[in-house]
Structure 1
């Protein structure tokens, strides 16, 4: 039984804006880039990220939907180490403006100037299979039964 619950990890994720999204390129090599969740975290095992359609990460996901996310929170003011999260998941691409609207925040206009009507926009949904965490005092794994395992 994990020492932390998914609810506890959700509260931690709300404090972390950026993560690293890992995909595999056409040669099988890892390709990693930062992505922002912009606080869109009521975490139930699914993460959402906006991107342009014509990017390597999208073509990587179309070829191989297996992805990884890593999140890191800094140490607390009291000196307690931050938390590290590694999420093993499956990505899917959403092209539905209703879903865009559900996950949109105004700050995205920096990258997508026409909002959800920006040409070539896509929403990447990452469904977690398993979450691993470390916080300097404890570590654990949370398998998510609602998602297929590999």
Structure 2
């Protein structure tokens, strides 16, 4: 399988895993260590990038200016941990495209506020655990407890991007 096909499959799989999860936890690195906070994922089809609105007058904005490496986690039918690189996007057309009335209430402003920015997370890899197979999880944890874990017991998989 070529890199382009592998990337398309990874994008498709991650899109399916996170499509119904509205809130993610974004983890950044502060000068005191790791910091996580809830973020509303943009309601756009995942294509390899995750999008979030925030403001410049937040700690996360300044943390990303110093260290662009972030982690985004989702919990729903599956558990997903996404590693990527954040980028600050101030493009007014892009902000208008992703804006909704819900953000007006949440952020108490409008998309054309110069303090409002988009965070674009370019996904590098994603690890996921399928919580839909309860029997497999029980067997896995039983095998771990009794010391019989094998390679076949792993519940998680890793997706590689670009």
TM-score bucket of the superposed structures, by smaller chain: 0.7 to 0.9
CA-atom RMSD in angstroms: 1.9
Distance 2:14 2:89 in 1: 25
TM-score of the pair, normalised by structure 2: 0.75
What's the counterpart of residue 99 of structure 1?
94
Quote how far apart the aligned CAs of 1:5 are. 4.3
Structure 2: stretches of 5+ with no match in the other structure: 134-154
TM-score of the pair, normalised by structure 1: 0.81
Quote how far apart the aligned CAs of 1:118 are. 2.4
> Which entry has the higher C-alpha Rg, 1 or 2?
2
Give the count of matched residue pairs: 134
What's the counterpart of residue 75 of structure 2?
72
Quote how far apart the aligned CAs of 1:114 are. 3.7
Q: Contact 2:96–2:112 (CA<8 Å) still a contact in 1?
A: no
Q: Runs of 4 or more off by more than 6 Å in structure 1?
A: none
Distance 2:40 2:60 in 1: 14
Distance 1:113 1:102 in 2: 18
Once the two structures are overlaid, the 10-residue window that deviates more, 10-19 or 54-63, is: 10-19
Q: Contact 1:6–1:44 (CA<8 Å) still a contact in 2?
A: yes
1:24 aligns with 2:33: no
Distance 2:117 2:20 in 1: 25
The DSSP-based 3-state class of the residue aligned with 1:115 is: coil
Deviations 1:92-141 (A, max 9, x none): 10111011012212211112344212241111111100011111344211
What's the counterpart of residue 156 of structure 2?
139
